[in-house]
Structure 1
Amino acid sequence: MTCINKQPRNNAHEGITHLGNSTGKWTRQSVINWIEAGTHTFYTLVNGKRADVGVVQGENGKHVRTYADGYYNDNLLALPECP
């Protein structure tokens, strides 16, 4: 993943509506479905460090977060807006 869309932009992970990269942009729900089905994997690569995208159950339902070095982190929230 190289970009996200968030509504509102300053909200927590649940606010991510779309995720994208150089080949396309998808809804958060599509990304969740593909990860859970095992049909696709996604990751971020920042400063040479890879963080895999995983599905997390939150207060308001499932959302996506990055996972690296045994911990979930906020790498997705640092990505720029998708066009």
Structure 2
Amino acid sequence: MAIQITHVRLAANGTGHDSITRYKWRNESTGKTGDSDKPTMVTWVDTAGNSAYVSNGLSRVAVGVYRPQNGSPYLKTNANGVWTDNLLALPRF
């Protein structure tokens, strides 16, 4: 199953990917929308058969689980093997 992440919510005074606390998404096959917290989304994206992406209408960028050396895993976009900032460019909710 694939979902498009459409919006993010950051913790107060947060600016980085690790500060994202919630993700708003849309299931591409059913049209269902919802929002989920960071631990739930990390687990979901990590599950075989699930995928997430962001889109600007012209192209898609895959979302993966980023595991820093120190700290908890979080979501980040990955374009052609390079971690990118596409999630931080999404609208806030």
Question: Structure 2: which amino acid aligns with 1:3?
Answer: H
Residue of structure 1 aligned with 2:81, choices 62, 67, 70: 70
Structure 1: gaps of 5 or more residues: none
Establish whether residue 3 from structure 1 lines up as the match of residue 14 from structure 2. Answer: no
CA positional deviation for 1:3: 0.2
**Alignment length (residue pairs):** 82
Post-superposition offset of 1:76? 0.2
Q: Considering only CA atoms, is the larger Rg found in Structure 1 or Structure 2?
A: 2
Q: Are 1:55 and 2:65 an aligned pair?
A: yes
Measure the CA separation in 2 of the matches of 1:3 and 1:49: 17
User: Residue deviations 1:17-76, cap 9 Å, x none?
Assistant: 001124111111111101112242110011512111100112321011001122110000
Structure 2 counterpart of 1:25, one-letter code: D
Q: What corresponds to 1:15 in structure 2?
A: 19
Give the Cα separation in 2 of the matches to 1:30 and 1:39.
Answer: 16
What runs of 5+ residues in structure 2 fail to find an aligned partner?
Answer: 27-32
